[in-house]
Chains A and B, each alone.
Chain A
């Protein structure tokens, strides 16, 4: 998992770097020369930004359109989208998250006017470019700061995710998410709850499961293969040995980097980013190892909630995150049922136990 150990991959050779510098400088010049009533901020260089790639179906609600695609085929789908090009799409599950990211950017720009350490939101879609016009119109309608996109016309987005130095990829397609994770890119499959909870407009709130999301699945393997007692013993014995990192560790790290920019300006109490750990571990027994691991990584998490096996849904309903990451579909379903926008991280041993199975016994780690 070497790729996951860095937030941004190191730059390649110097000639490519200087070409990249030229590209970026030209873009900046173009933006600054635009005569526009509403000056748009220049997009940050990918290497400086925290890049979040969202698919079209996570950004917008395309359920009706998807149905046409599945039942009537691609040509009818593209034709439909073109016919309705000037009708903005409704928001999708990643929409509140994107708005919250934009708010953080606004606050960052107030404190650090020329700084590039910002969120950069990229639309990464398999759609044909002709559908793209409706997507652009919809982005315009909601005035979202999304200035970069890839419409791959059916090709895999993976290469493009890498080219944009993506820190997090959100999609409705489990296949693409799995491919991204296999390539070392933090990714998750989004689910839309049936009910909408009211979410904060001033603070980005992100909730993470622990094992197999922030951390590797090494401990979960012990639970599954050797049972809970072995798990407790093991965690106690290795309390001071940091867990290996999981697929979303670098994303938490990126959030932490931005949080510290607020702390540096005395804005800790008013920080527009708040992170939560929501784990089935218990504080009394297996929780210590988790906190010590985070500390060894130099990462902070604002609130650590140890559920000792209790369902996550009700607690998440209180927390109201813009997004909640978990590796187990059981928890995703529980969260979604109670209104939390959830994102499944298809990583680790948890996947082998959920394929094709309808009902899961709750994992009791205590």
Chain B
């Protein structure tokens, strides 16, 4: 397992409260694709990373000494990419993304990597990786093609207030605690901005229950320090069209699970 510290243009983020987001190279780059300069082409997680960056920029604008920022690490298990590490770093730089660390590991070790790096949120396009992450108690989100068409100017987080609309990683095995502490961090970040023109937007959806279940979910979020901007109580209305309108970068449901 090799870990490379990359000090690019990124400010050194203080160790105490950044929100560490680990993303796999499969998610960031389109596999097998190359641009004319031989660099990797942006993949599914691209808009999401841009949105995370936007949040950081705005946070620093509000307070240049802000330490509650997203700290993005890139994980790759592909040995070819590891051998061509400069291609990864060049591609990252070329696309204007800010990654503070690159972690190269093999498939067996990458979970350890997540835990050692104190990862708060793990993003992947690989279902197995997401399941493994959840089982180890790391909040893991499976990204899909919908993420690719999300906005880059605003990070949109969707909380699913009843367990029906789960994040596609499968049953909510991630410890409730990991989900709740991540949510609290998101809530805090959101609180740095006013109601208008925020680079983060938080929405809540309940699919099954009536208004009481949505009301309860709103209160649960509040107790975590998360003030949702939008709330939708579907009570059985098909969620496809609603999700298409909301365009969340990712979904979180573990805060409300009963385990």
Name A's B-contacting residues (CB within 8 A). Answer: 16, 19-20, 23-24, 26-31, 34, 40, 42-43, 45-46, 74-75, 78, 128-130, 132-133, 136-137, 139-140, 146-155, 159-160, 162-164
Contact = CB atoms under 8 A, between A and B. Distances in A.
B240 A74 contact: no
> Which 5 A-B residue pairings sit nearest by Cβ, starting from the closest?
A27-B236, A20-B238, A129-B231, A147-B210, A163-B241
28 contacts: A23-B236, A23-B239, A26-B164, A27-B207, A27-B236, A30-B162, A31-B209, A40-B210, A75-B195, A78-B195, A128-B229, A129-B203, A129-B227, A129-B230, A136-B218, A140-B211, A140-B212, A147-B235, A148-B237, A150-B230, A150-B231, A151-B230, A152-B230, A153-B203, A154-B229, A159-B241, A160-B232, A160-B242
Contacts of A160: 232, 242, 245
B66 to A, nearest CB: 21
Contacts of A153: 195, 201, 203, 229-230
A147 B211 contact: yes
Contact of A133 (B208, B219, B232, B234): B219
Contacts of B215: 132-133, 136-137
B184 interface: no
B157 interface: no
Contacts of B230: 128-129, 150-153, 155
A164 B196 CA distance: 26
Contact of B237 (A34, A130, A164): A164
Contacts of B237: 23-24, 46, 148, 163-164
B194 interface: yes
Given A27-B235, A34-B209, 12 more contacts: A23-B238, A26-B236, A27-B234, A30-B162, A31-B209, A45-B236, A128-B195, A147-B233, A153-B195, A153-B201, A154-B195, A160-B245
Contacts of A34: 209
Nearest to A25: B236
Contact of A75 (B194, B212, B240, B242): B194
B241 A162 contact: yes
Nearest to A164: B237
B20 interface: no
A160 to B, nearest CB: 6
A362 to B, nearest CB: 44
Nearest to A16: B240
Contacts of B240: 16, 19-20
A40 B213 CA distance: 13
A267 to B, nearest CB: 28
Contacts of B236: 23-24, 26-28, 42-43, 45
A150 B242 CA distance: 10
A148 B234 contact: yes
A146 B208 CA distance: 14
A266 B194 CA distance: 58
Contacts of B203: 129, 153
A159 B230 CA distance: 14
Nearest to A21: B238
Q: Which of B162, B164, B236 has most chain A Cβ within 10 Å?
A: B236
A261 to B, nearest CB: 22
Contact of B245 (A30, A46, A132, A163): A163
B238 A132 contact: no
B142 to A, nearest CB: 18
Q: Taking each of B203, B214, B215, B237, which has the highest tally of chain A beta carbons within 10 Å of its own beta carbon? A: B237
Nearest to B162: A30
B48 interface: no
B191 to A, nearest CB: 12
Nearest to A160: B245
Contacts of B211: 136, 139-140, 146-149
A132 B210 contact: no
B41 interface: no
Nearest to B229: A153
B204 interface: yes
A5 B239 CA distance: 25
B242 A163 contact: yes
A23 B238 CA distance: 6
Most buried by A among B194, B233, B238, B245: B238
B39 interface: no
Contact of B234 (A23, A75, A130, A154): A23
A140 B211 CA distance: 9
B218 A133 contact: yes
B245 A159 contact: yes
A27 B237 CA distance: 9
Contact of B228 (A16, A28, A129, A162): A129
A292 to B, nearest CB: 39
Nearest to A151: B231
B163 to A, nearest CB: 10
Contacts of B239: 23
